[in-house]
Amino acid sequence: MNLWLWILVACGLAYFTKLSGYFVPAKLLRSPRMMRVAGTMTIGLLASLTVVNAVASGQALAFDARLGALAAGAIALWLRAPFLVVVIVGSAAAACLRLLGWH
């Protein structure tokens, strides 16, 4: 139930963020600092989420089959594969490495 609460709060905040944009005076757009912070924060968060999902295991760092998924995903992206293919390649790489005994 606790998790439901945070899900609903997060959904509310997501909508409020979008809607607030429609009520903020356009003047604010001329000060590009807010835009930049929103943009660089997006990059930082996505980079961090990538790393956490690749090497964090609770509060420890672990080097396992997920690193293979990271490498395979990067190669797929570099070859300009579409998003869904990238995700499938990452999944397949981790599954194959586990079959080969690298957990």
Residue 4 lies near other proteins (rule: CB under 8 A): yes
Residue 31 and residue 41: Cα distance in Å, rounded? Answer: 17
What contacts 55, CB < 8 A, 6 or more positions away? 61, 62, 63, 66, 67
CB of 9 to other proteins, least distance (A): 5
CB of 92 to other proteins, least distance (A): 6
Among 63, 79, 98, 100, binds other proteins (CB under 8 A): 98
Q: Is 74 in contact with 90 (CB distance < 8 Å)?
A: no
Q: Which amino acid is at 64?
A: D
Among 14, 79, 100, 102, binds other proteins (CB under 8 A): 14
Looking at the DSSP bridge assignments, the partners of residue 57 are: 60
Coil/strand/helix, residue 32: coil
Window 17 to 76, contacts with other proteins (CB under 8 A): 17-24, 26, 28-30, 32-56, 58-61, 65-66, 68-70, 72-74, 76
CB of 27 to other proteins, least distance (A): 10
Residue 100 lies near other proteins (rule: CB under 8 A): no
Q: How many residues would you count in the chain?
A: 103
CB of 19 to other proteins, least distance (A): 4
